[in-house]
Amino acid sequence: MDETSTPTALLVMQGISKTFPGVRALSDVDFEVRSGEVHALMGENGAGKSTLIKVLTGVHRRDSGSMTLDQHDISPQAPIEAERLGISTVYQEVNLIPQLSVAENIMLGRQSTTAGWISWKAIRQRAQQAVDRVDLSVDIDCELRRCSTAVQQMVAIARAVDLDAKLLVLDEPTSSLDTKEVEELFKVLLRLRESNIGIVLVTHFLNQVYRIADRITVLRNGQRVGTYATEQLPRIELVGKMLGKAPQEVAEIESRTATVSDTTPSSEKMLEVSQLGRKGTVEPFDLDICRGEVVGLAGLLGSGRTEAVRLLFGLDRATTGKLKVDGKRIDKPTPRKAIRAGVAFCPEDRKREGVILDLSVRENIMLALQASRGLSDALSYKQQLELSQHYIDALKIKTPSTETPVGNLSGGNQQKVLLARWLAMNPKVMILDEPTRGIDVGAKAEMETLIESLRKRGMAVVLISSELEEMARTCQRVSVMRDRMKVGELANEDVTDQKMMEMIAQHHDD
Amino acid sequence: MTIDPPNPIRRITTSPLFWPLLGLVLLLIFNAIFTPSFFNLEIRDGHLYGSMVDVLNRGSIGIIIAIGMTLVIATGGVDLSVGSIMAISGAVAALMLTESNVSLWGVIPCALLAATIAGLLNGLLVAVVGIQPVVATLILMVCGRGIARFLTGEKVIALVDDHFSAAFDYLGNGHFLGMPFPVTIFVLLVLATLVVVRKTVLGLFIESVGSNEVASRAVGIQARTIKIGVYAFCGFCAGIAGLIDASNINAADTVNAGVFTELDAIFAVVVGGTALTGGRFTLVGSVVGALLLQTLLTTLYTFGFASDTAPVPKAIVIVGVCLLQSDAFRQKFRRRSAA
C-alpha cells in the first residue's frame, strides 16, 4: 500500500537520521507531503514524530538525509529560516509571547517600518486581515495571555498562514481544544487546503485523523512504518501499525480495558467533600468517594473540573467547605497537608506542575516520598535506585537509565514517572487530571489498565478526562460539571458517553 | 529508540567541573612557564609561604561568599547584598570589641547572627513578599552599608593599641597547621556545606525548587522555607567573610569592606558551572571558580597590573571561560575546524 513520490510533492524528506546522546531518535526516515493535502503524522510516544518535525523546522539539525521543498534543497538552521522558506509551525504549547497583543504577535519579527519607524497602523491592518483570513473574531489589541488557549492556538495559525506558508505544520493542535473549537479549526484547515497549502498534522486523536487527513504516515521507534491513503487504512490496522501489533492483539488490549470490573467498591468512604468551593472559581460542591471506586469529573474545558480537584489537593485555597480524607478532616488544605493525609495529584499541565524536567527519573520518583519523610530521614542511594527501578519495570517506563533527566522522555513516559512518584507514597486518594492527554493509543490503554489496578488495590480515584468514552470505560460514577458548578451525577449503568454528553449538553441549552 | 553506550570522553567534557578546572590548569601552566617562582613554597617559622598559599589565603573570602551564593543561585535567585552584609558583620564585631567587655566567643556569634538576620530579611522579601531577588537584595545592598556606617559612627574603627585583640587578629592573620587560618575556615565551611546538602536530600530539594517551584510545592516540598533558608545561609557566609576581612586589617572599614564581592561571587558560581537560571548546582565548581578568579588576580599583580586596571584582563579571561562553557560556541568552533 506504500505510495511513492509523485511529481506534485511539495516536501520530500529522504533518509533522515538523527541521534541524540544515547538515543537514536530517527533512522532513515522518508516523509513526503503534497500541496493541498492534510497529511497526518502518527505514532506512539517516542516514535520520532516531534524529532522529525523539529528537523523539518530547523530546531534540530539532521545527521544525514536530504530535504527538498518545491524541488529546492533546503536545510534550515533555525525556525526563522524555515519560516522564510515557507514552512510555518504551530506547536503543541503555543510559542508566542503572552505579554504582547494579538496584533504584535502576528506581526512579530516583520514589523512594517518607514525609515526605521514602526507603522502601528499598518501592523494593525495586516494583523486584522490575518485573523479575518482564519475567521477568528478577536480584539487584535488584546493581550495574548488574556485569550483562551483555543484563541491563542488560532492566533498562532493566523500568524503561520500570514507568513505565506507553503507548508503548515501543526503539532498536536487539538489537545487543548474542546469539540466545538476543533470543528472551527478543521473548517479553517479545509479552507487552507483548498488554497493549495500542504498541511502536516501531528495528533493522537484517531477520530480527527479520519475526519480530515488525506494520507497518514506512521512512525514507530524512529522508523517509518509506511504512508497510506486514509480511506484505504481501517482504524484497527492503523492502531496495529502504531503499536507494531496485529489487529487481533489490538482488539484484545481494548477489550481488556473495556470490561469494567464487577468487584464492587466498599462503602468505606475515603474522600468526603462537603460544600467545598472557591469564590469566582468553583461553586461549592459535594463529593464522596469510597475505597476502590473510580469517580469521574466530566465537563467541558472551563467547566470547573480542574479547578475543583485543585481545591482537593490544596493547590488553590478553598474559601468554603470541608474536606475529609479517610475520616480525618484536613483543615485549610495545602499540597503538603493533602499528601500527608494520603492524597496524590497528577496535574493536567504535567510539565509546569508535575515532573521536574531537569531532575533525573530516579529523583523525580523519590521526591514526594522523601519530602514526606523530611530532610533528616534520607532514603539511601541504594533505596532510591531500587524504588525507581521497581517502578520503571512495573510501569514499563521507557528510559535509557534511572539517571536520565525526565525532560528527555516522551510525554507518556513523563506521565508514568509522575504516577510512579505517587504510587511510591501508597496514597489513599489518587487524583488524575487528564492522565492520557497528549499520549498515544497504546499508552492510553495501559493507563486505563493501570487505573483499574489502582482501584482493585483499594484506592479511591478521581479521574478527569476530555474523552468521555475513556471515562465511561473506567468510572463507576461520574459527576458532571458545567459553568463552574456540579450539575449532576451518573452511576453504574448510567455511566455512558451518551448520557454524560446529554447531561453536559442539556444544561448548556438552559 | 536504540540506546548507544555513553562515550567516556564526552562524559568528562560534559561534566560541569571540566571547563572551570581546565581554565584553572591553563592559568597555572601559564604561570609555570612565565613565572616559575609562582610555585615556590618555603617554610618560615613553621608557616608555609608562596604565591600558591597567597592565592588560597586571599581567595578564602571569595570562596566563602561563593558557597552561600551557589545555593541562592541554585534556587533561581541571586544575592547582591553580600558585600554590605560583610560590612555589617565587621562593624558589629569591631563595635563590640571596642565598646563592650564581651569576649570574642560572644562577639563572633553576635556578628554572625546579625549577618544571618540580614540574609533572613532578604529571604523573606523574596519568598514571602515575592519581590524579584535582584531588587529585594539590592535594597539591603544599598542600605546595609548605610546601617554599617551608622553603627560605626561613620568612621573606621581601628582595633589597635588598647583595643587590639590577639584572638580576633588570629581569624584573618593567624596560621593553623602551617596554613593561613582563613584557609582552614573555608575548607571546614566547604566540607560542612557539602555534607549537609549532599549527604541529606537538602541539595536535591534546592535543585528541585530552582528547576520548578510550582511542581516542587505540589510534591510537598516547603519551597518557601528552603528559599528563606538559603538566603539566611548566604548572609551567614557573608558574615564569616566580613569577620575575616575585618581581622585582616584589624579594623572595620565600612566604606571599603566587601565592595564588589557580590559580583566576584556571581562570577565564581557561574564560571564554576551553576546556571543563573537555577536548578543543578555544584559547590566544588564554585570553589574552583573562585580559585580561578583569585589565581588570575595574583597572576596579574605579578605581571605588574595595578589593582585599578587589573579588572580589564580579568574580564577578558572570564569571557573566555564562559565561551568555553557555552555548548553553542563550542559547536560552532567544532564545525569550523571540521570544515
Residue with the three cell numbers 523573606: B124
CA–CA gap between residue B300 and residue B305 (Å, rounded): 6
Grouping H, G, I as helix, E, B as strand and the rest as coil, residue B314 is helix
B32 domain-assigned: yes
A425 shares contact with chain B (CB less than 8 Å): no
- Chain A contact set for B208 (CB, 8 A): 356, 359, 363, 367
B94 domain-assigned: yes
Give the pLDDT confidence score for residue A1 in this predicted structure.
42
Residue with the three cell numbers 548605610: B146
- Chain B contact set for A378 (CB, 8 A): 199-201
A74 shares contact with chain B (CB less than 8 Å): no
B204 domain-assigned: yes
CA–CA gap between residue A57 and residue A166 (Å, rounded): 13
- Complete DSSP assignment for A178-240: -HHHHHHHHHHHHHHHHTT-EEEEE-S-HHHHHHH-SEEEEEETTEEEEEEEGGGS-HHHHHH
Q: What is the ipTM of this complex?
A: 0.81
| Shortest Cα–Cα distance, B197 to chain A (Å) | 10
Whether residue A367 and residue B204 make contact (CB cut-off 8 A), yes or no, is: yes
* CA distances for B56 relative to B64, B184, B291, angstroms: 11, 10, 7
Q: Are A346 and A422 in contact (CB under 8 A)?
A: yes
- Complete DSSP assignment for A356-402: -TTSBHHHHHHHHHHHHH-SSSPPPHHHHHHHHHHHHHHTT---S-T
- Beta strands A460-464; A293-298: pairing state: parallel
Whether residue B10 and residue A21 make contact (CB cut-off 8 A), yes or no, is: yes
Give the pLDDT confidence score for residue B138 in this predicted structure.
95
- Chain B contact set for A363 (CB, 8 A): 204, 208
CA–CA gap between residue B251 and residue B258 (Å, rounded): 13
Give the pLDDT confidence score for residue A510 in this predicted structure.
42
Q: For B211-221, what is the mean pLDDT? A: 91
Q: Would you state the cell numbers that stand for residue B212, as one nine-digit string? A: 520548578
Q: What is the pLDDT along chain A (510 residues), one digit of tens a residue?
A: 444 445 578 999 999 999 876 667 898 999 999 999 999 998 876 688 888 999 998 889 999 999 999 989 998 988 888 888 889 888 766 678 888 888 888 888 776 667 777 788 888 888 898 888 887 888 888 888 887 777 888 888 888 888 778 899 998 876 667 677 788 888 888 988 998 899 999 887 777 888 899 999 999 888 999 999 999 988 778 877 877 766 555 555 555 444 444 455 567 889 999 999 988 778 899 999 999 999 999 877 667 888 899 999 998 888 899 999 998 999 888 999 999 999 999 998 888 889 999 899 999 999 999 998 888 788 888 999 999 999 999 888 888 999 999 988 877 888 899 999 999 998 999 999 988 876 767 777 888 888 988 898 889 999 998 777 788 888 999 998 877 888 889 988 888 877 887 777 664 444
Whether residue B1 and residue A23 make contact (CB cut-off 8 A), yes or no, is: yes
Interface test with B, best of A367, A397, A406 (most B CBs within 10 A): A367
- Rg of chain B over Cα atoms, rounded to whole angstroms, equals 21
Number of compact structural domains in chain B? 1
- Beta strands A429-433; A460-464: pairing state: parallel
Tell me the residues of B at the A interface, defined by beta carbons under 8 Å apart. 1-4, 6, 10, 199-202, 204-205, 207-208, 211-212, 214-222, 279-280
pLDDT tens, residue by residue, B234-283: 999 999 999 999 999 999 998 889 898 999 999 999 989 898 889 899 99
Whether residue B200 and residue A355 make contact (CB cut-off 8 A), yes or no, is: no
| A&B contacts, CB < 8 Å | 89
| Shortest Cα–Cα distance, A195 to chain B (Å) | 38
- Chain A contact set for B2 (CB, 8 A): 23-24, 221-222
- Chain B contact set for A367 (CB, 8 A): 204, 208, 216, 219, 221
- Chain B contact set for A419 (CB, 8 A): none
Interface test with A, best of B15, B195, B198, B201 (most A CBs within 10 A): B201
Whether residue A357 and residue B219 make contact (CB cut-off 8 A), yes or no, is: no
Residue with the three cell numbers 543543578: B280
User: What H or E segment, with its residue span, contains residue B47?
Assistant: strand B47-49
CA–CA gap between residue B286 and residue B20 (Å, rounded): 9
Using 50, 70 and 90 to split pLDDT, how confident is the model at B336? low
B7 domain-assigned: no
Q: Are A480 and A489 in contact (CB under 8 A)?
A: yes
Q: Are B294 and B59 in contact (CB under 8 A)?
A: yes
Give the pLDDT confidence score for residue B6 in this predicted structure.
53
User: Among B10, B201, B215, whose Cβ lies nearest the Cβ of A355?
Assistant: B215
Give the residue from chain B lying closest to A349, CA to CA.
Answer: B215
Interface test with A, best of B11, B219, B277 (most A CBs within 10 A): B219
A354 shares contact with chain B (CB less than 8 Å): yes
Q: Would you state the cell numbers that stand for residue B191, as one nine-digit string? A: 566540607
Other CB atoms within 10 Å distance of the CB of residue A102: 29
What values do phi and psi take at B278, rounded to 5? 90, 175
Domains in chain A: ranges and CATH: 9-96+163-255 (3.40.50.300), 269-505 (3.40.50.300)
Give the residue from chain A lying closest to B198, CA to CA.
Answer: A378
CA–CA gap between residue B290 and residue B56 (Å, rounded): 10
Give the pLDDT confidence score for residue A509 in this predicted structure.
42
Residues 6+ apart with CB under 8 A from A408: A20, A23, A399, A400
- Chain B contact set for A400 (CB, 8 A): 3
Give the pLDDT confidence score for residue A258 in this predicted structure.
45
B156 domain-assigned: yes
CATH of the domain at B229: 1.10.3470
B149 domain-assigned: yes
Q: Are A323 and A272 in contact (CB under 8 A)?
A: yes
CA–CA gap between residue B64 and residue B58 (Å, rounded): 11
CA–CA gap between residue A361 and residue A358 (Å, rounded): 9
CA–CA gap between residue A242 and residue A439 (Å, rounded): 12
Give the pLDDT confidence score for residue B47 in this predicted structure.
86
Give the pLDDT confidence score for residue B107 in this predicted structure.
94
A379 shares contact with chain B (CB less than 8 Å): yes
B8 domain-assigned: no
User: Among B6, B201, B211, whose Cβ lies nearest the Cβ of A358?
Assistant: B211
Whether residue A371 and residue B219 make contact (CB cut-off 8 A), yes or no, is: yes
- Chain B contact set for A352 (CB, 8 A): 212, 214-215
Whether residue B199 and residue A25 make contact (CB cut-off 8 A), yes or no, is: no
CA–CA gap between residue A474 and residue A500 (Å, rounded): 13
Instruction: Kindly report the length of chain B.
Output: 339
Q: If phi over 0 gives left and psi between -120 and 50 gives alpha, with beta otherwise, what is residue B319? A: alpha
A358 shares contact with chain B (CB less than 8 Å): yes
Grouping H, G, I as helix, E, B as strand and the rest as coil, residue B159 is coil
Residues 6+ apart with CB under 8 A from A88: A82, A159, A160, A161, A163, A165, A167, A168, A169
pLDDT tens, residue by residue, B147-203: 999 999 888 888 887 888 888 999 999 999 889 999 999 999 999 999 999 888 899
Interface test with A, best of B1, B209, B224, B327 (most A CBs within 10 A): B1
User: What H or E segment, with its residue span, contains residue B85?
Assistant: helix B82-99
A339 shares contact with chain B (CB less than 8 Å): yes
pLDDT tens, residue by residue, B49-66: 888 899 999 999 999 999
- Chain B contact set for A356 (CB, 8 A): 208, 211-212, 215-216
C-alpha count within 13 angstroms, C-beta hemisphere, residue A373: 17
Q: Are A51 and A87 in contact (CB under 8 A)?
A: no
B67 domain-assigned: yes
Give the residue from chain A lying closest to B202, CA to CA.
Answer: A375
- Chain A contact set for B220 (CB, 8 A): 335-336, 339-340, 368, 371-372
Other CB atoms within 10 Å distance of the CB of residue A94: 21
Give the pLDDT confidence score for residue A506 in this predicted structure.
60
A77 shares contact with chain B (CB less than 8 Å): no
User: What H or E segment, with its residue span, contains residue B269?
Assistant: helix B261-271
What values do phi and psi take at A112, rounded to 5? -75, 130
Domain that holds residue B245: 16-338
Give the pLDDT confidence score for residue A508 in this predicted structure.
42
Residue B6 DSSP label? P
pLDDT tens, residue by residue, B66-93: 999 999 999 999 999 999 999 999 999 9
Q: Are B122 and B71 in contact (CB under 8 A)?
A: no
Q: Compute the CA torsion angle B190, B196, B198, B199 (nearest 10 deg).
A: 130
Buried b (16+ CB within 10 A) or exposed e, B128-157: eeebebeebbebbbeebbebbbebbeeeeb
Residues 6+ apart with CB under 8 A from B212: A352, A356, A357, A358
Whether residue A25 and residue B212 make contact (CB cut-off 8 A), yes or no, is: no
